[in-house]
Structure 1
């Protein structure tokens, strides 16, 4: 494909990929978009492959992450989307290399769809872990949460779904390019297996009666509010639940706008809340302990904070500023708005409540595999995700995060209680479907009978290795193919030289 056409195709395909994610959620578009992306890289030189992939990544990320600008304006949006685009472009170079080597190496040509898919998930893995802890948002597999492929996530995880999707797209592209129908057989078998595979069976071991409250208070960073207003809103919204039987009351992230470990009035109000509800309350607040500031979920009982969990991955440039000295020199007014420096937590994302074990993730921690896996391996029988989406009102951010929460339910085989300050909030079944919901910008409270499960799914067991192994195998294949090609050229040149002599 000529470069000028490839750039235009990449621009359109990247922008269309956003349609596969919520709010639109047209998941088949993802297959078309990925196929076009791969098509633009076939036969491409490495510099032009970077340019084409950069255009694809920019048209997607600047569209998909536009909600970032709602918080601190255009600079963080441009910085994040720009960085993601550059990393995406770098991954495109390896994919183009795979196609070039496959054209010259017979052995690689037979497995090039798997190699390309492995490079794709390697790129997602790197972007999800670097820099500053990475940003594993918008992995391609997340587009399949409403598709017939979703159940396979309980076996191979979101990263595995990304691999399967790209493998199918690369196989179709190869078959069309070579006009060989038999090349479609592997892709067809993968599609059939992925669609037919059932959810991995986890065993139900009981239920937990959970009250969950969306206070809809002034929770945004720039909302006009006074100290205690968010706590007031949560208390008022919880009133209808008083006296009704429950095992646990759940409030969202930032639901207590004071440190109850240091503020006697806030602690007294939580004591009263627990007495009125007749159950412990899982709340969240900024706490100062051990010389640091933490985003902390507290299980508040009759004797105060019985158990704590601190957010493991504070958001760079949202909850802390890495290399502050440098970024203050670049954008002092913007960086000056971020006064707190949250420290990463090290305590386990799990708590014991009423004989049950619950797993936890605070806001964006839901996108990090290590947090979800640690909870499951610690015996979590259900999950509670606490979040505050108030700074992103009127955007798709909450729905994109919800897609991740739903995929986590499928991956782990667990029910998820997903509670937000301003919406949306849900109870999510282990198959990823929503059982009950409170819509955005509404005040509400419900009590739900939440099923508890045991059993470790293959997705959870394999989470740390799926991306690195698939990606590493693809890089190894590229290295072997490069060595084989050079060896062939060297021996061929030596043979011609002997013949000339």
Structure 2
């Protein structure tokens, strides 16, 4: 433990460097190795401690942006929760290292099946963190760390969870090669070499060219933060000013970010008239975002607006942020931090509409802010016929942090995963137009007002990641847990038989 504890803590810190802003994607590999090695041979509580140290160092730095305006309490709460979940799920990995070699002691078990089980359990932990509690927060996935590397295209076949599995499996294979020794027998390296070749050589799954559409996108850089001092309509006016250079230019749609309209145009005739006039000025429909009210419920909404009035179509954010856009179990949590909880006066309702607009026969997939980190929103958009994605976000509450770049990495990986272009527009940046292969077609840097007008490629056809992605997650997550239980049961049966066998 004198070596394992600091090694685990160092692994968490090293893994942070694989994500933006540094984005040193190769660092994910030694970090995963350093996180796994201390778990080999550990019993329950030592495994918990090792996992806790890894999770605490990784998440406390990776999620530091959450403390930018609200102070240390949300940051400590979220990073502690993620670290505790990491600690809990370190135990199954430690058990895999203890049980599987006893059940399958041969080379296939040690060099292939054990790494596969370890990788599956790591992926299961990512899935749990990304779905529980209150919908989870799937930030810091190993798969997204590879967006700048040569393995990113594999995500179009198996999704981000599948890419996480393969990266961790390769790391676990290398560990077992070293533990097995006998380096002169090159046959032992064949499984790891085959997996490495697959990761490097597998091309992105091709989707079908369907032409292009001309998209105007505007980053107003207005006072869109929660605590920004602003007059009524200031964010709307900033967006209008940044849109003015687009008047008279040819385009198929004008895209604004989340929170670009700071009043509800479905209830404010004055705001609706402004959007009507803007649509006439650019001679194109608008995709804008606003908080909308329907009866007693509030929604974070994306609206398709035309000069004839709107909205013609509406998508409501499917995954409102707990303790950011609503407070789950408010009566329970408010006594712990009454001042902070009291700041969240509005309660957003999760949307149920499909994440797609039909724009003159072209399917436009949608995601609002952190929607982009949830697989279901993006995959459902592709299933429903999206030929391009338009992601709207408001990063103003995280100015001066790496949050916008980390979220942008998710947007780029979604382009690769689905084989679709992505227009990712923020109130304050960084905004990009991303090609179906993840390349940047246009960009607006952070903290500037500006616009992009881009011929954005359209694509049809579904990648395997979209078609089998849900099944891959079930097989890797639930399958690894079942495999671990079977291994544990086999060990228990063998031990019982050995106790009953009389000594000659």
* Fold in common (TM above 0.5): yes
* Distance (whole Å) between structure 2 residues aligned to residue 489 and residue 138 of structure 1: 39
Alignment of 1:389-408 (within 5 A): 389-408=395-414
Structure 1, unaligned runs of 5 or more:
none
Match of 1:42? Answer: 40
Displacement of 1:13 after TM fit? Answer: 1.0
Checking the alignment, whether the CA contact within 8 Å between 1:125 and 1:468 is kept in structure 2 is no
The reply on whether 1:386 has 2:392 as its aligned counterpart is: yes
Displacement of 1:420 after TM fit? Answer: 0.2
* Distance (whole Å) between structure 2 residues aligned to residue 293 and residue 229 of structure 1: 21
Checking the alignment, whether the CA contact within 8 Å between 1:172 and 1:183 is kept in structure 2 is no
Which of 298, 306, 314 is residue 303 of structure 2 equivalent to?
Answer: 298
Displacement of 1:71 after TM fit? Answer: 3.0
* Distance (whole Å) between structure 2 residues aligned to residue 400 and residue 248 of structure 1: 27
What secondary structure is seen at the aligned counterpart in 2 of 1:72? coil
Deviation per residue, 1:382-404 (Å, 9 max, x gap): 00000000010010000000000
Displacement of 1:373 after TM fit? Answer: 0.8
Q: Aligned pairs, how many?
A: 496
Displacement of 1:354 after TM fit? Answer: 2.6
Alignment of 1:137-148 (within 5 A): 137-148=139-150
* Distance (whole Å) between structure 1 residues aligned to residue 441 and residue 453 of structure 2: 12
* Distance (whole Å) between structure 2 residues aligned to residue 86 and residue 248 of structure 1: 45
* Distance (whole Å) between structure 2 residues aligned to residue 436 and residue 408 of structure 1: 17
* Distance (whole Å) between structure 2 residues aligned to residue 338 and residue 184 of structure 1: 55
The reply on whether 1:12 has 2:18 as its aligned counterpart is: no
What secondary structure is seen at the aligned counterpart in 2 of 1:132? coil
Match of 2:216? Answer: 211
Match of 1:264? Answer: 269
* Distance (whole Å) between structure 2 residues aligned to residue 232 and residue 495 of structure 1: 83
Checking the alignment, whether the CA contact within 8 Å between 2:39 and 2:93 is kept in structure 1 is yes
Checking the alignment, whether the CA contact within 8 Å between 1:247 and 1:279 is kept in structure 2 is yes
What secondary structure is seen at the aligned counterpart in 1 of 2:68? helix
Displacement of 1:467 after TM fit? Answer: 2.2
Match of 1:82? Answer: 80
What secondary structure is seen at the aligned counterpart in 1 of 2:324? coil
What secondary structure is seen at the aligned counterpart in 2 of 1:71? coil
* Distance (whole Å) between structure 2 residues aligned to residue 164 and residue 106 of structure 1: 21
Match of 2:380? Answer: 374
Which of 295, 319, 333 is residue 313 of structure 1 equivalent to?
Answer: 319
* Distance (whole Å) between structure 1 residues aligned to residue 452 and residue 19 of structure 2: 28
Displacement of 1:215 after TM fit? Answer: 0.3
Match of 2:114? Answer: 112
User: TM-score scaled to structure 1, two decimals?
Assistant: 0.97
Match of 2:459? Answer: 453
Moved more, 479-488 or 333-342: 479-488
Q: Give the root-mean-square deviation of aligned CA atoms.
A: 1.1
Structure 2, unaligned runs of 5 or more:
none
Checking the alignment, whether the CA contact within 8 Å between 1:160 and 1:466 is kept in structure 2 is yes
Q: Detail structure 1 runs of 4+ shifted over 2 Å in the superposition.
A: 102-110, 180-184
Checking the alignment, whether the CA contact within 8 Å between 1:171 and 1:183 is kept in structure 2 is no
What secondary structure is seen at the aligned counterpart in 2 of 1:358? strand
What secondary structure is seen at the aligned counterpart in 2 of 1:9? helix
Checking the alignment, whether the CA contact within 8 Å between 2:101 and 2:114 is kept in structure 1 is no
The reply on whether 1:350 has 2:356 as its aligned counterpart is: yes
Deviation per residue, 1:265-295 (Å, 9 max, x gap): 1001001101111001100000001420000
Match of 2:197? Answer: 192
Displacement of 1:194 after TM fit? Answer: 1.4
User: TM-score scaled to structure 2, two decimals?
Assistant: 0.97
What secondary structure is seen at the aligned counterpart in 2 of 1:340? coil
Deviation per residue, 1:63-92 (Å, 9 max, x gap): 000000013111000010000000011111
Match of 2:260? Answer: 255
What secondary structure is seen at the aligned counterpart in 2 of 1:148? coil
